[in-house]
Structure 1
Amino acid sequence: MTIPAPAPKFAVLRSWKTAPYLVGAGLAMMGDNIEHVITYLVLWNTFHSPILVGFQLVSHWLPYLLLSVYAGALAQRFDCRRIIQGAQILFMFVSLCWGILFLTGTLQLWQACVLLVLHGLAGCLWGPAEQMMLYDFAGREQLPSAVRINATFRSLGVLFGPVVGSVLLLTLGTTWGIFANIVFYLPLTLFLARTKFTGHSREGVYQTGRVSLWQSFRVLGTVRKDHVIMGMLILAALASVSIGAVLQTAMPVFGNELTPAGADGELVYGALLFALGIGGVVGGFFLEASGWIPPTVRTAVISSITFGAFAMLFAFTGSLVVALIALVLTGFSQITATSTGQAIVQLEAPAAERGRVLGAYSMFGPGMQTFSGVTIGALGTLVGIPITVVIGGAVLVAGALLTALYIRGSARRAEV
């Protein structure tokens, strides 16, 4: 594959056509996480249902698994601005419904399940169109930079969303806090009403004909023939199934085990979550500022290996200091692997298939996190949570090495 020449550092943030889009996406991701903080607390206090907790995870990621490719086909055919605005409006509608149900005290289990599914559908619809817009804004030359900065801003949203959500809970309460959350989706929605970019402006390539769910999945036959794209999809799937959301979900367990005698367990738990989040944020800005790590297949493979290795170190250690350092490096490796894989898929995808290929990446990446709940539930019961993380890290390391051999072997066969 041909890697574009390095663009000026932080060029996409110095552009008034791109910077508001990236900031708006980060704020929207913060709103997404604020909603989780508030609604998950209310749902537990209202229903005390472990099954509902599992459904929260499944409803968030299952739409990515089943519908991402179709969402990519929609992004390939229609104006991506309107698709993203539709997703943001759906997010706002869900927050509004939560607020009304909280205010009136009429929340029922079936209503909660419907809103959780709608929230997951909004995220699924947003993903491929968001990436199409990045290509349109930045062009091929600045695309790796745009993908890195976008991933970093989304990591900022994930990192500070729980903090802001907690502040809203303390100051406004659950009802008015969820109403206030609607504001975080507005900047991106309003900016897209003004920008001229559509996700197709540079190449003007739209998918023609009827978009059906079955036709959308035909792209998997296309990407199967491209060893680089297929390798990135495999790496994304491995990371999601083996580790995925397991670290965040299981962090209370590690917080209890790593809390020194006499220390505040909640403070340790918060520090562990913050270390993982700040690793992704610092990693994204470092990648952009240094320019030392190019967006290559080698980078994607090595960062996937270190992602698994540092997760294993975190699970093995009994030292809080080592655990915090390992989590920072885990977050750094994760954002490197994710942003590199995303950029490579964008650069390699044919223009006429880019939307559906990006949808396939969302299916193999975020979508496969649906199974991380099965991973932690089944293995965690059998061997314990720490050993489960160790096994997941080992699977990712071994899988990344095998993927590297697959890509290299396929490239050699193509040359013959």
Structure 2
Amino acid sequence: MFRSLRTRNYRLFAAGQVVSNTGTWMQRVAQDWLVLDLAHGSGTALGVTTGLQFLPLLLFGLWGGVVADRYPKRRVLMITQIAMGALALVLGVLAVTGTAQVWHVYVLAFGLGLATVVDNPTRQSFVIEMVGRRDLPNAIALNSATFNGARLLGPAVAGVLIAVLGTGPVFLVNAASFGAVLFGLYAMRQDELHPAAPVKRARGQLREGLRYVRGRRDLLLVLVLVGFVATFGMNFQMTTALVARQVFHTGASSFGLASSMLALGALIGALLAARRATRPRLRLLLSGALLFGVLEVATGLMPTYWSFLVLLVPTGIALMTFTTAANATMQLSVAPEMRGRVMGLYMFVFLGTNPLGAPAVGWMAEQFGPRLSIVLGGVVAVLTTLAVGVLAVPRESIRPALARVRRPRTAEGG
């Protein structure tokens, strides 16, 4: 289950990610709560904040993959981590001094999104340079496990700190947590990495990457499925805040608990994926997406806070099964010199579509209630999965089936 950890460079990377991701999840909870306080509980303001954080991925996400292919990934990651830490520090100072305003959060969220444009595809494509192709599925699953382990711990700690100290100290803790990633990257042994040859700067490299994906029907279907599920079904960080506050009338600590329950399911799903750690098949990808959609609908209909919490666990398992399978499918199916650009496109679809979905989901939650926004996301996930499943069936296997259906009718008509 943990064979990727036998690689020293990956151990350093994973350890830094545990610390930094915990701080990041603490900040996400604190940021949402700060916006709700400053905007007097406005779901629209919360949706705008989420949208602005992911808007740079929509505008510039594809260029992040070009950067990942052109420059040494380890060096690029050090730069992006420093930028993210500085943004968290500024927001912490504003919150601690009581001078924070909603527009401050908007600007800093957009700045964080700009750093993420480059960080995400670089970090995703750097994993194979640490562990190689054989251990890549296992490493992707372990990355998800560390991410969701932090997601399990971070919101719960953040909820307590917000209740006791306020949001400001949470941002400062996150700023300090980036030091762990920087230390891990600095301490790596360069001669033990397996870097892909940097792509020389040239015109048309972005278009080249898009043409490559356009010519791969299997990759296109994965991107379509990921895009719809991410846009409409994966706004849990926003909707759970609204459900906790408006439906069940609870405080920050209860919101943190809800986020942790979803993360618990995601952590279990990631560990199951790490144990399996084989090249994923389309059936697994579709099954995970379909189950996630059904469970999301059921979660939105839960009548009590505790039943809502319980159902978040299997929902998280299904979501992680789907996302780890999609990530590994994309990375293992592409040429090394294209991996940065393909993962840039993948992260563009996976995260960059949030500016389109988050404000709409926030507005819908404000007008019709948070439950409806969750149910709608699940319905979209189910319908998209069924459509992609039909499109993924090879045409060669459809034609004989249609012929068998038509023959009896022909005979009867004669």
The two structures have a TM-score, normalised by structure 1, of 0.84
Q: Is the partner of 1:367 in helix, strand or coil?
A: coil
Larger mean Cα displacement after TM superposition, 94-103 or 118-127: 94-103
Aligned equivalents of 2:250, 2:104: Cα separation in 1: 37
Does residue 236 (structure 1) correspond to residue 229 (structure 2)? The answer is no
Contact 2:13–2:184 (Cα < 8 Å) also in 1: yes
Quick one: structure 1 residues 354 and 402, their matched pair in 2 at CA, closer, same or farther if it must change by over 3 Å?
Answer: same
1:42-98 residue CA offsets vs partner (Å, 9 max, x unmatched): 454445483543331111111222222111110111011111111110111112222
Aligned equivalents of 2:72, 2:300: Cα separation in 1: 45
Quick one: structure 1 residues 344 and 59, their matched pair in 2 at CA, closer, same or farther if it must change by over 3 Å?
Answer: same
Q: Which amino acid in 2 is paired with 1:205?
A: A
Does residue 387 (structure 1) correspond to residue 372 (structure 2)? The answer is yes
Quick one: structure 1 residues 24 and 411, their matched pair in 2 at CA, closer, same or farther if it must change by over 3 Å?
Answer: farther
Q: Which amino acid in 2 is paired with 1:136?
A: E
Aligned equivalents of 2:94, 2:253: Cα separation in 1: 32
Q: Is the partner of 2:134 in helix, strand or coil?
A: helix
Contact 1:242–1:372 (Cα < 8 Å) also in 2: yes
Aligned equivalents of 1:49, 1:170: Cα separation in 2: 17
Q: Which of 120, 124, 129 is the equivalent residue of 2:117?
A: 124
Partner residue, 1:344: 329
Q: Which of 268, 272, 281 is the equivalent residue of 1:286?
A: 272
Q: How does 1:200-219 map to 2 (within 5 A)?
A: 201-202=193-194, 204-210=196-202, 215-219=205-209
Contact 1:133–1:197 (Cα < 8 Å) also in 2: no
Q: Which of 380, 384, 388 is the equivalent residue of 1:403?
A: 388
Aligned equivalents of 1:35, 1:198: Cα separation in 2: 35
Partner residue, 1:248: 237
Partner residue, 2:354: 369
Partner residue, 2:213: 223
Larger of the two Rg values belongs to structure: 2
Q: Which of 19, 26, 35 is the equivalent residue of 1:34?
A: 26
Question: Any stretches of 5+ residues in structure 1 without a counterpart?
Answer: 1-8
Give the aligned CA root-mean-square deviation in angstroms. Answer: 3.1
Contact 2:159–2:255 (Cα < 8 Å) also in 1: no
Q: Which amino acid in 2 is paired with 1:209?
A: R
Percent of aligned pairs sharing the same letter: 23
Does residue 94 (structure 1) correspond to residue 82 (structure 2)? The answer is no
Post-superposition offset of 1:108: 5.1
Quick one: structure 1 residues 298 and 357, their matched pair in 2 at CA, closer, same or farther if it must change by over 3 Å?
Answer: same
Aligned equivalents of 2:106, 2:334: Cα separation in 1: 36
Q: Is the partner of 1:232 in helix, strand or coil?
A: helix
Aligned equivalents of 2:100, 2:250: Cα separation in 1: 34
Contact 1:137–1:197 (Cα < 8 Å) also in 2: no
Larger mean Cα displacement after TM superposition, 302-311 or 161-170: 161-170
Contact 2:244–2:250 (Cα < 8 Å) also in 1: no
Contact 2:62–2:345 (Cα < 8 Å) also in 1: yes
Aligned equivalents of 1:251, 1:331: Cα separation in 2: 13
Contact 1:59–1:116 (Cα < 8 Å) also in 2: yes
1:103-161 residue CA offsets vs partner (Å, 9 max, x unmatched): 55554555443222111222222111111111111111111111111011111222222
Post-superposition offset of 1:322: 4.9
Q: Which of 127, 146, 155 is the equivalent residue of 2:139?
A: 146
The two structures have a TM-score, normalised by structure 2, of 0.85
Quick one: structure 1 residues 97 and 311, their matched pair in 2 at CA, closer, same or farther if it must change by over 3 Å?
Answer: same
Partner residue, 1:6: none
Contact 1:133–1:198 (Cα < 8 Å) also in 2: no
Quick one: structure 1 residues 308 and 173, their matched pair in 2 at CA, closer, same or farther if it must change by over 3 Å?
Answer: closer
Aligned equivalents of 1:266, 1:193: Cα separation in 2: 37
Aligned equivalents of 1:221, 1:311: Cα separation in 2: 35
Aligned equivalents of 2:14, 2:150: Cα separation in 1: 11
Aligned equivalents of 1:64, 1:255: Cα separation in 2: 28
Q: Is the partner of 2:322 in helix, strand or coil?
A: helix
Contact 1:136–1:198 (Cα < 8 Å) also in 2: no
Contact 2:232–2:357 (Cα < 8 Å) also in 1: yes
Quick one: structure 1 residues 181 and 277, their matched pair in 2 at CA, closer, same or farther if it must change by over 3 Å?
Answer: same
Quick one: structure 1 residues 102 and 311, their matched pair in 2 at CA, closer, same or farther if it must change by over 3 Å?
Answer: closer
Partner residue, 1:360: 345
Question: Any stretches of 5+ residues in structure 2 without a counterpart?
Answer: 399-414
Q: Which amino acid in 1 is paired with 2:2?
A: F
Aligned equivalents of 2:191, 2:76: Cα separation in 1: 10
Contact 2:29–2:155 (Cα < 8 Å) also in 1: yes
Contact 2:294–2:382 (Cα < 8 Å) also in 1: yes
Larger mean Cα displacement after TM superposition, 230-239 or 335-344: 230-239
